Structure 1
Amino acid sequence: MTATADADVLPALRAKVRSAAHPESTPCSHPDTVLAERADGTVVRHADTVAKAHAPDTDPAHLTLRLTAATSHPDILLAPLRPTPAPLHGRLVTFWPYGTPVDPDTPEAAPWEEAAMLLARLHRQPPPRGLPPMRGPAKAAQAIARLRATAPHHPATDRILRAWHTLPAWARAEAPMPDSTTLCHGDLHLGQLVRHPAPLGPWRLIDVDDLGVGVPAWDLARPAAWFACGLLHPDAWTRFLTAYQRADGPAVPANGDPWPVLDVPARALTVQSAALAIAKSTAAGLPLDDAQRSVVDACDRMGGIPPELAGPFPK
């Protein structure tokens, strides 16, 4: 896509979301709010309607299948307003109802139990026929490629790559995942939950870009990694894991040690986070913050010890 076409996306998306929210002849005082503006997705809200322009390389057939999954499970995933994407300046656009996001300023109210129960229910649903693999491992591999391209000489890069190469091929997106039947979100974190109807409706999962079939433990891997790196309080981790197990989530055993299943995905998410931290800090010319240093330090510890499937990776 040309730079001109890319620059045209935001104003065109504003017009699209306004027309989707109400007829153009209707008097309107609602402002447009840009919720995200990145290379992999631009999101604009107008009144109670949200429009998302997906990444330029998004496969239309795969995105349509992901929309089908969301439409089929509206009690788990936020359902789109339209069943198929629309073209816009070389991008695909989807339309959604607005939902209230998690408040980052009240971490004590974070919906860990609700997120876990939604995941457990998602993992038990049959995926649409032809749904592609969930994109978790592919995104981790993209983060490593970005690290190699932007910060090959950073002092932490070799340590991160050593940790990366301890992972099995499937976790590096170099081989098929060992599970090809379980419906997965692919990129679970608290930013992927909203209340709908806003402001206090039930919680729903959002963002279907990485939805697909694969290893369900990947959806638990980010909070597991945060816990293992000391970034998530043990009580929050216990609440999340216990709620998932009580909801009959298939990713981990209902009883006993979950780490034989979680270890590899948690390591992969830690490496991904560290790679992005170095790439972003290098591009911005800024030092790492405390959380970024924690994931980089974890990679240093992981690099010398292959996954032993015995517990949270070495302290």
Structure 2
Amino acid sequence: MSSADVVRTVGALAHAAAHPASGTDCTCTPPVVLADRPDGTVVRSGTVVAKAHAPGTGGPDFAERLALAAAPALSGVLLPPLPAPHPLPSVDGRPVTLWPYGDPVDPDDHEAAPWEEAAVLLARLHRTAPPASLPAMRGPAKAALAVARLRAAPSAGPARGAVLAAWAALPGWARDEAPAPAPRAGFLCHGDLHLGQLVRHPAPHGPWLLIDLDDAGTGDATWDLARPAAWYAAGLLPGTVWTRFLDAYRAADGPAVAATGDPWPGLDVAARALTVQTAALALAKAAEQGREPDEVERLMTDACARIASLPPELAPPRTS
């Protein structure tokens, strides 16, 4: 099935859920594509969003993650799915889930983004006991996939060596080669936290909630703080914003880092891993598109060079 066919079918499922009695005379706005990537096709119709998950998604692990989103213990933290038939509808072998629409974060204004709200949601998530049947968080697995993509990409220039050297310096658990060591393991983690994983529901003025649990599971809670930590270390996130985020997480009794003092000893490994993942994907995409890395991509590869030259700790954050 072509990408256009997938989008069309997912849109029809969203429309049917949003307007079950509209019939053939419906005059509402056509479905809108919110995302169409290999890891998910997301289409909105009115107040309903339908998502076709990545190829290969399914089975007990997927069912456990979907059930987590509807768990009463996480009400007010996670956006719950809409009722759906069993078994779930599918498109080209990919399961489709239905969700209420929520207003996303403005991706172009990091300082105005809900950093404190995100931190509090993460702290609540991390303090919640995970179900015994929940699978492992997929953060390290996604980092390993990013590095594999870089290895398979066309010539990625001299920065490729620095990224791979930074990857080799990580411990095995951060490269998805072993479980996270105690006491790191066992926390309920989102697994892929970034600003795109937050929406206001009900739109447009409801509370912020976390979405997209395709990578959720048990593991090291520092992974969920690692992307903003990596951005800060690379010079992409202002120190004032990073401090707001970290202080809010600590004030909400988040368990991933110590309540006071230098957070970096706890964050170091996960932040280095997210730096490598981001740089690997950036270089791979640039190589696949036959272009040079842009300024933001170069900042992440420069951070990898600092990591590779100063093991075992992440290089100090940029000051200029």
| Shorter-chain TM-score above 0.5 | yes
Code of the aligned partner of 1:76? V
Q: Give, in whole Å, the separation in 2 of the partners of 1:111 and 1:59.
A: 32
2:133 corresponds to: 130
Aligned to 2:230: 225
Structure 2: gaps of 5 or more residues: none
Deviation at 1:313, TM superposition (A): 6.5
- Paired residue secondary structure (2:111): helix
Distance 1:163 1:251 in 2: 23
Amino acid at match of 2:89: A
Question: Which SS does the other structure have where 1:42 is aligned?
Answer: strand
Opposite residue 41 of structure 2, the aligned amino acid is T
Map of 1:205-224 to 2, 5 A cutoff?
205-224=210-229
Q: Secondary structure at the match of 1:139?
A: helix
Which digits, 9 at most, give the CA deviation of each residue in 1:250-307, with x for residues without a partner?
A: 0000011111110110000000111011111111122211111011011111112222
**Counterpart AA for 2:43:** V
Displacement of 1:198: 0.1
Indicate the residue corresponding to 1:48 in structure 2.
47
Aligned counterparts, 1:211-290, within 5 A: 211-290=216-295
The 8 Å contact of residues 134 and 184 in structure 1, kept in 2 or not, is answered as: yes
Give, in whole Å, the separation in 2 of the partners of 1:197 and 1:229: 35
**Residue identity in the other structure for 1:34:** V
Please state if 1:307 is matched with 2:312. Answer: yes
Among 94, 98, 111, the residue aligned to 1:95: 98
Any idea what SS the aligned residue of 2:99 has? strand
What is the rounded CA distance, in whole Å, between the counterparts of 1:105 and 1:292 in structure 2? 16
Deviation at 1:31, TM superposition (A): 1.9
Does residue 1:66 correspond to 2:65, yes or no?
A: yes
Q: Any conservation in 2 of the 1:50–1:96 contact (CA below 8 Å)? A: yes
Deviation at 1:153, TM superposition (A): 5.4
CA contact (8 A) 2:229 2:242 kept: yes
Larger mean CA deviation between 149-158 and 288-297 belongs to 149-158
The answer (yes or no) to whether the contact 2:155–2:287 under 8 Å persists in 1 is: no
Which secondary structure does the structure 2 equivalent of 1:34 belong to? strand
Q: Which amino acid aligns with 1:96?
A: W
Moved over 6 A (4+): none
Three-state SS of the structure 2 residue aligned to 1:130 is: coil
Whether the aligned pair in 2 keeps the contact of 1:167 and 1:306 (CA below 8 Å) is: no
CA distance in 2, matches of 1:234, 1:313: 9
Q: Does 1:12 align with 2:9?
A: yes
Question: Is the contact between residue 40 and residue 51 of structure 2 (CA under 8 Å) also seen in structure 1?
Answer: yes
Q: Could you say which residue in structure 2 is the equivalent of 1:76?
A: 77
SS in 2 for 1:108: coil
Alpha carbons of structure 1 residues 62 and 212: separation in structure 2 relative to 1, 3 Å: same
Corresponding position: 1:29 with 2:28: yes
CA distance in 1, matches of 2:91, 2:302: 43
For 1:159, the equivalent position in structure 2 comes to 162
1:188 aligns with 2:185: no
Match of 2:203 in 1: 198
C-alpha root-mean-square deviation of aligned residues, in Å?
1.8
* Superposition deviation, residue 34 in structure 1: 0.4
Aligned to 2:56: 57
Would the aligned equivalents of 1:68 and 1:128 in 2 still touch at CA under 8 Å? Answer: no
Residue 147 of structure 2 corresponds to 144
State, as a whole percentage, how many aligned pairs show the same letter: 59
| Cα distance in 2 for residues equivalent to 1:37 and 1:92 | 15
TM-score w.r.t. length of structure 2: 0.92
TM-score, length-normalised on structure 1? Answer: 0.94
SS across alignment from 2:136:
coil
